[in-house]
């Protein structure tokens, strides 16, 4: 109410000032309209004819009042000429006087105006600098204020029905929604909800979307911010923002605070001198204090998301702070199908499009990848001027995302084309013979990406979570099928198998050092798996915890596995040599073979025979 009264008073003052300004302008204009500017020669003639009654001198200006003015002309005005002015005026008996010009306001403005201009420029530059350093738009006084965006139920526009492929995470968080809707139900038995819930998972799996869905289901205010927004170059700013965020949340309880990318704020504090960051540590300490300071019964729930849980500070993950961790992993086949159905609601699909087959073609895709896939497929349909998005458009989009852009203008000589065709059909035939749970979806010799001259796309027929040693050997043999085909047909080696060798070597190395699949080395782990969802990102130099003799045994075991896989691939291709040659000729002619076109060749594959050593 006081703000309203103050605003009203200000408005009245504005009106009064405007009226006064209009009156002053009107008087000034009226006076100016009565003044006639004349040359000095005419002014002398007026003096001689005694038509001027009074003269006023203002600096270099001379103004004379006429004795008998015409209508609308009461004064005359001219530029002062100093030469014997007083003598002339006395000669003609004219009353005259000199007025001292008041220069007070002019002097004041000459000092104040430059200061105001300097202050305005300084304020503008300061605000720009604060903006670049993470300051708020409100200026210096708001630098310690939280930059969290506040949403209400109608703003989030996301519910659990908009989330697919994460059923376990949704069921975990459904209990949280019920607590926010009816907290008395849980307080009645003395139970409490976790103070903090941490969503962990690979990038793109929908952690932020699930957090917004919780707010949309519960219908409570939703404070959304990022861990990086707390960390500034000024020590103490991040801690102030944490305090301000929780103060705002207490005023709007019950509510949800969501901190995305928590690892930017909660990274492990380093021990030792000269290795810490005072600002980050103070911000993290303040967050820990706030987590200890608010009661879960107050209706404030802290949600956070990260894809790097391995680097979070242990104090942040202990019981009583982030009590519960919810894994949001990459979806399985059914989850991918559900996500695709959500994203194609606004897409015009062709009637015979099999989304289940598309879901089978995308193992390892996250929710974000699938959303991008639907968009890419619609773009492919637009490029061909199609009215609907077909299954072929989805296949082309998958190839674009996995293998890269198709390079139709790259010309390869006939011999290289023949080598690539036999190489890819070697992959396809060996994989079909040994990997019963994966179908060969497509084989192509059209170059894609940076260095790919051809590719073979396999489609898993079911989700697999465990693999036996025999299945790993079959996978290695399929990867080495291209090199085996080159050796059988051309009796030489080429650089085309570089990526295949890399993947096969990784499988063999893991089988020996991590899975204990070598009898001589025993059931011992010699190489620990990488932690986290992002991987190391850089070559790692790990300390070797075994002897040189053991290292040699590992090298020999890996080499033996790869040699056995190559021999197995050569055996299969030698047995089916005619199929390899015939299918490669057809592939050279058509450049791409689909699953239906490959079936006549695959139906005649056998897995017996001898191969040349």
pLDDT grade for 568, boundaries at 50, 70 and 90: very high
pLDDT at 8 over 50: no
CB 551 within 8 A of CB 524: no
Reading the block at residue 283, the tokens are: 């911000």
Per-residue confidence band for 277, with pLDDT thresholds at 50, 70 and 90:
low
424 belongs to the catalytic site: yes
Confidence check: pLDDT of 503 > 90: yes
Residue 31 to residue 72: CA distance in whole angstroms: 10
The string of pLDDT tens digits covering residues 215-266 is 888 778 888 888 877 776 556 677 888 888 888 888 887 788 888 888 888 8
The answer, yes or no, to whether residue 508 has pLDDT greater than 90, is: yes
Give the span between the Cα atoms of 262 and 514, in whole angstroms.
31
Architecture of domain 333-403: Orthogonal Bundle (1.10)
CATH architecture of 414-533+544-602: Up-down Bundle (1.20)
What mean pLDDT value characterizes the chain?
78
Share of the chain above pLDDT 70, in %: 72
Average pLDDT over residues 117-125: 77
Is the pLDDT at 75 greater than 80? The verdict is no
Domain ranges within the chain, ordered by starting residue: 15-99, 149-269+277-327, 333-403, 414-533+544-602
Q: Above 60 in pLDDT, residue 83?
A: no
Region 458-478: what's the mean pLDDT? 86
Options 279, 290, 424, 438, the catalytic residue: 424
**Residue 472 has what pLDDT?**
93
* Among 585, 577, 581, residue whose Cα is nearest residue 605: 577
Q: What CA–CA distance (Å, rounded) separates 443 from 592?
A: 6
Q: What is the pairing mode between strands 196-200 and 255-260? A: unpaired
Rounded CA gap, 157 and 461, in Å?
36
User: What local confidence, expressed as pLDDT, does residue 61 receive?
Assistant: 73
Nearest to 229 by CA among 194, 258, 202: 258
Nearest to 288 by CA among 268, 260, 316: 316
pLDDT at residue 321, as a whole number: 82
Please say if the pLDDT value at position 11 is more than 60: no
Alpha carbons 192 and 205: distance in angstroms, whole number: 28
**How remote is the C-alpha of 444 from its chain's centroid?**
34
H or E, element range at 18: helix 2-33
Domains 15-99 and 333-403 are alike in CATH topology: no
Kindly write down the DSSP assignment for every residue of 299-358, as one continuous string.
TEEEEEEES-GGGB-HHHHSTTTEEEEEE-----HHHHHHHHHHHTTTS-B-TT--HHHH
Mean pLDDT of 318-344: 87
pLDDT band of residue 611 (cuts 50, 70, 90) is very low
Does pLDDT of 333 surpass 50?
A: yes
* Residue 283 binned pLDDT confidence (cut-offs 50, 70, 90): confident
Q: CATH classification of 15-99, choosing from 3.30.720.210, 3.40.50.1370, 3.40.50.620, 2.40.128.90?
A: 3.30.720.210
Class (C level, CATH) for 149-269+277-327: alpha beta
- Please check the confidence at residue 10 and state whether its pLDDT lies above 50: no
């Amino acid at each position: 109410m006081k703000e309203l009264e103050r605003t009203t008073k200000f408005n009245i003052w504005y009106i009064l000032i405007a009226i006064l300004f209009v009156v002053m302008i009107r008087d000034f204009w009226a006076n100016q309209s009565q003044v006639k500017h004349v040359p000095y020669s005419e002014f002398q003639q007026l003096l001689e004819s005694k038509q001027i009654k009074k003269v006023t001198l203002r600096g270099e200006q001379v103004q004379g009042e006429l004795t008998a003015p015409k209508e609308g002309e009461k004064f005359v005005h001219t530029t002062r000429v100093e030469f014997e002015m007083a003598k002339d005026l006395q000669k003609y008996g004219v009353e005259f006087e000199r007025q001292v010009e008041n220069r007070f306001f002019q002097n004041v403005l000459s000092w104040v105006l430059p200061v105001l201009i300097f202050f305005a420029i300084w304020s503008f530059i300061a605000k720009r600098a604060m903006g670049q350093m993470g300051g708020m738009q409100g200026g210096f006084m708001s630098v310690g204020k939280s930059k969290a965006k506040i949403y209400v139920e109608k703003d989030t526009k996301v519910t659990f029905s908009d989330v697919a492929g994460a059923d376990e995470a949704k069921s975990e968080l459904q209990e949280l929604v019920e607590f926010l809707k009816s907290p008395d139900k849980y307080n009645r038995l003395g139970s409490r909800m976790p103070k903090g819930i941490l969503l962990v998972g690979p990038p793109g799996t929908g952690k932020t979307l699930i957090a917004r869905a919780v707010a949309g289901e519960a219908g409570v205010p939703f404070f959304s911010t990022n861990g990086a927004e707390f960390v500034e170059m000024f020590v103490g700013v991040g801690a102030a923002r944490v305090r301000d965020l929780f103060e705002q949340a207490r005023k709007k309880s019950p509510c949800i605070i969501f901190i995305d990318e928590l690892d930017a704020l909660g990274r492990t504090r380093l021990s030792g001198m000269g290795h810490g960051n005072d600002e980050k540590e103070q911000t993290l300490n303040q967050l820990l204090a706030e987590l200890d300071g608010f009661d879960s019964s107050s209706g404030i729930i802290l949600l956070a998301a990260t894809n790097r849980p391995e680097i979070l500070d242990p104090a942040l993950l202990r019981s009583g702070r982030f009590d519960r961790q919810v894994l949001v992993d990459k979806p399985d086949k059914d989850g991918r199908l559900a996500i695709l159905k959500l994203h194609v609601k606004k897409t015009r699909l062709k009637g015979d499009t099999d989304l289940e087959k598309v879901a089978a073609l995308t193992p390892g895709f996250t929710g974000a990848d699938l959303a991008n896939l639907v968009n890419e497929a619609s773009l492919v349909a637009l490029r061909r001027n199609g009215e609907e998005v077909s299954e072929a458009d989805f296949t082309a989009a998958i190839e674009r995302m996995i293998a890269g852009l198709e390079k139709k203008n790259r010309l390869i000589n006939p011999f290289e084309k023949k080598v690539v065709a036999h190489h890819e059909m070697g992959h396809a035939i060996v994989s079909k013979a040994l990997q019963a749970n994966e179908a060969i979806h497509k084989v192509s010799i059209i170059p894609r990406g940076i260095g790919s001259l051809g590719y073979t796309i396999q489609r898993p027929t079911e989700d697999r979570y465990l693999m036996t040693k025999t299945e790993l050997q079959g996978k290695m043999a399929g990867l080495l099928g291209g090199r085996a085909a080159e050796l059988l047909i051309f009796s030489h080696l080429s650089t085309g198998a570089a990526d295949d060798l890399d993947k096969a070597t990784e499988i063999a190395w893991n089988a020996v050092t991590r899975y204990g699949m070598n009898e001589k080395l025993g059931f011992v782990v010699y190489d620990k798996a990488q932690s986290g969802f992002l991987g190391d990102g850089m070559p790692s130099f790990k300390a070797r915890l075994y002897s040189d003799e053991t290292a040699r045994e590992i090298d020999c075991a890996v080499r033996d596995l790869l040699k056995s896989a190559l021999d197995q691939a050569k055996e299969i291709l030698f047995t089916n040599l005619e199929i390899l040659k015939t299918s490669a000729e057809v592939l050279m002619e058509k450049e791409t073979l689909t699953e239906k076109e490959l079936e006549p060749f695959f139906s005649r594959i056998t897995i017996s025979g001898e191969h040349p050593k």
